Amino acid sequence: MFICLFQVSRSGLTFEVGPIPWGVLNARQLQRSRRLLVSTLQYIHTRNAQMLTAPGTKQSQAFPLAGHSGSHNTICQRGIKSLCAEHTRTQQELESRWNTDSMPVFRRATTIAYPPGTAAGSFLIHPHMQDRDFRPLSIGDPVFVDIEGKNIIPYDPSHPFWATQENFPGFDEPLYPFFINEAAYYESNIAFALAKKKERPVKVLKAAAHIVSNL
């Protein structure tokens, strides 16, 4: 389920809410989508309103034209200094409206293919793995299981399956699966993608902090 806000943001935003099968109406996901969309628009509106109220150069601070009083150079220098000071005050006030925080960012590391089938049949995503998008994998977690439920491929460096995966980043740091068992990727033989989690510094508008916390 996609919500696109390309027209109200500088770089474009796409929210994907799920997981949910294609063509299925899920009331819970619909409510989450609506809350996310409305909160995002509220934040953007609050942010824009704050930016519009930033103090600027007042009419009373306008400088006389050259030739009316003093030399041209003196007026120009005085004007430049005053404008610089006003700009500094404006920037300081704008900066005071923001809190410095951090947010988790998931960067895709690679994709994992389905294992080749055996005499027992094809491999499926293990029930323990299903719907656990963006939750870290732990050594020993079951990842794949065959149709009969007898053969399991765990998330473990001792299993030879992981050495066959191109660009697999290894087991040295936590990895987060997402797009688990997506029907759209069956034709590409992609079982799921793996991401690394990083903390990224961000600035949050104080006046809209409650909007973000409610998400």
> Which among 43, 34, 49, 50 is positioned nearest to 9, based on CA atoms?
43
Contact between residue 141 and residue 154 where contact means Cβ atoms under 8 Å apart:
yes
In this predicted structure, the answer to whether residue 190 has a pLDDT above a threshold of 80 is yes
Higher-confidence residue: 116 or 23?
116
The greatest distance separating any two alpha carbons of the chain, rounded to the nearest whole angstrom, comes to: 97
CA angle (117 as vertex; 22, 120 as ends), nearest 5 = 105
76-128: pLDDT as tens digits:
555 555 545 544 555 566 667 778 888 899 999 999 999 997 766 789 999 99
Who contacts 74 (Cβ-Cβ below 8 Å, separation ≥6)? none
Length of the chain: 215
Q: What is the pLDDT of residue 62?
A: 39
Q: Under DSSP, is residue 180 helix (H, G, I), strand (E, B) or coil? A: coil
Between strands 14-16 and 142-146, the pairing is unpaired
Q: Measuring CA to CA, which residue among 194, 174, 12, 33 is closest to residue 110?
A: 194
Find residue 198's DSSP bridge partners. 105
The predicted structure's pLDDT at residue 22: 75
Phi, psi of 112 (to 5 degrees): -115, 130
Cβ neighbours, 10 Å, residue 206: 13
Show the tokens assigned to 73. Answer: 């150079």
Percent of the chain with pLDDT strictly greater than 90? 36
Question: Backbone phi, then psi, for 125, in 5-degree steps?
Answer: -65, 130
With 70 as the cut, is the pLDDT of residue 210 above it?
no
Q: Which contacts (CB < 8 Å, 24+ apart) does range 155-162 have?
A: 161/115
Return the structure tokens found at 20: 């949910």
Q: What share of the chain is helix, strand, coil (3-state, %, to 5)?
A: 35, 25, 40
0.75 cut: is pTM over it?
Answer: no
> Which residue, 209, 211, 214, 207, is CA-closest to 50?
207
